[in-house]
Every structure is written in C-alpha cells, then in structure tokens.
Amino acid sequence: MHSWTTTGRDYGREHISVVFDGMPSEPFWKTKTLDELNRAEWESLCDGCGRCCLHKLEDEDTEEIYFTTVACTLLDAGTCQCSDYVDRKKKVPDCVFLTPEIVRTVDWLPETCGYRLIDEGQDLYWWHPLVSGTSETVHEAGISVRGQVTAFDHDLKSDEDYFEHMVRVAGN
C-alpha cells in the first residue's frame, strides 16, 4: 500500500495575534484547540515541512507504516510546498485534507507536525514559522523534506520500486 496525504499547507502565512486593550494576548495556538481555530489559524499551523507529502508504505502483517523519500507528484521539493494547493484534489484524489478528527485518527503525522503538537497540548518549536516569523527556519532546522526527496511517484514503475526509498517508521 502506498498513499499520501496532507492539508493545511501554508500559502500567505501571516503572524496571527490577538490584541485586547492594546496588550497582546497569548498566541492562538496556546489558547485554542484544533476545533476552535478559524481558517487562517488552521492554515498557518502547518509548518511547511512537506513530510506528509511523502508516500508511505504499510506492512500488511504488522500494520506498521513507513515513510519513504518518494514525493507526491505535486510536491515542490525545494520549497516543500504543494505546487497546486488549491486544485490538489483534482490532480491527486488521494490527497487527504486534514481535519481535527483526522489529525487524531491517523498515525503517520510526524511528531513535529504543528497540528499534532497542538492537539497533544504541546507548544510549537522555535523553528515553526509562527514562532520564528520566517518560513526558512523549518528548513534550517532540518525538519523539512528539502534535500531528502529521492524520487517522485511519477518516476516509479511499480509498487516494488517504493521499497528502495523506505526510510523510517511514520509518526516519529
């Protein structure tokens, strides 16, 4: 089995803060649950790592899921962004749009994923664009898939070809 999924990719990410009586309050990701986020907050919570845009393999015996370094055909391996985010479902029907329920259900989101961190009551890391103020830090910290993609799905001829690109258990 190989499938791919993502959502919440960041386009036009902005710093989002709430001002009350002239004093900045705690940032939204420290005070809201995933279910309480508005659209802009939800989108900005994606750190842009691109890790969920890599194909995964499932061991049918153990049900363990492994990441590969094979990227979805729409992933830009340099920016780690989807190259057609708005219409991605038309071109990649298996691309899963994350929702709070899906975040809680799937076991392949990396432990660094902004959605997973907030759902687990943790804070964002220093390199998250919402914290650092720049989308470059996710790459500088080595969290993104920049430089890690070894193939695109459209390059591979058969399912067996994915095994050559298997790297680690998903969810770590």
Please report how close the Cβ of residue 82 comes to ligand SF4 at its closest, in angstroms: 3
Using left for φ > 0, alpha for ψ between -120 and 50, and beta otherwise, residue 90 falls in alpha
25 or 37, CB closer to ligand SF4? 37
Q: What span, in angstroms and rounded, lies between the C-alpha atoms of 108 and 170? A: 5
Q: What span, in angstroms and rounded, lies between the C-alpha atoms of 93 and 73? A: 12
From the list 17-25, 61-69, 113-121, 152-160, the region that binds ligand SF4 by CB under 6 A is 113-121
B/e letters for 30-63, b = 16+ CB within 10 Å, e = fewer, are: eebebeebeeebbbbbbbbbbbbbbbbbeeeeee
34 or 114, CB closer to ligand SF4? 114
Please pick, from the candidates 41, 43, 47, 153, the single residue that binds ligand SF4 as defined by CB under 6 A. 47
Please pick, from the candidates 115, 129, 137, 170, the single residue that binds ligand SF4 as defined by CB under 6 A. 115
Please pick, from the candidates 37, 113, 130, 170, the single residue that binds ligand SF4 as defined by CB under 6 A. 113
The answer to whether 156 touches 70, Cβ cutoff 8 Å, is yes
The answer to whether 50 touches 4, Cβ cutoff 8 Å, is no
Element (H, E) at 66: strand 65-71
Answer yes or no whether residue 53 interacts with ligand SF4 by CB under 6 A: yes
Answer yes or no whether residue 46 interacts with ligand SF4 by CB under 6 A: yes
Tell me how far CA of residue 133 lies from CA of 22, 69, 90, 139, in angstroms: 21, 28, 32, 13
Answer yes or no whether residue 49 interacts with ligand SF4 by CB under 6 A: yes
Please pick, from the candidates 56, 114, 127, 149, the single residue that binds ligand SF4 as defined by CB under 6 A. 114
152 or 161, CB closer to ligand SF4? 152
Which chain residues interact with ligand SF4 by CB under 6 A? 4, 6, 8-9, 46-53, 72, 74-75, 82, 88, 92, 95, 98, 109-110, 113-115
